[in-house]
Amino acid sequence: MNREEFEKYLNERYKPELDWYDAKSASNKKWSYGFQLSIIVIAAIVPIFAALELKWITVILSAFVAAATGIFSYCKFEDHWHNYRTTCETLKKEKFYYDSKSGEYQEAEDPEKIFVERVEDLISRENTRWASIRRKAKEETETNR
């Protein structure tokens, strides 16, 4: 692989993928924290409304906690957050190894080819992992019906 092709790969494939995983990790982290904190806070105040005998507020908040817990479980925000962050950091590490000529790159005749193969393998594994998580969520939903 020549230098021009490699630069094109870095700019048109590697960098956009790295940015995507970084953004998706941050987004899923926010959703995960938002759902978890909402569930914790509302679940903690439900007994107060129940003790005050505010039946409708208690019912509505309890339903919210149940729905939010179900959505959080189904959407797998935390799983996606961790997987995307791991993939992002692994992609960064691969670039560091390439730049420093460490590991497999140290003695390689064509380090660019190795870099592309390893990056594509990482992306492929993440895609497979994502599909597996979605399939598992769907199966859990069908089982709970």
Range of 117's domain?
3-143
With a cut of 70, list the residues of the chain below it in pLDDT.
145
- Number of domains observed in the structure of the chain: 1
Unique residue bearing structure tokens 């560091």: 96
If we measure between CA atoms, which residue out of 49, 140, 122, 32 comes closest to residue 86?
122
End-to-end, the C-alpha distance of the chain in Å comes to 53
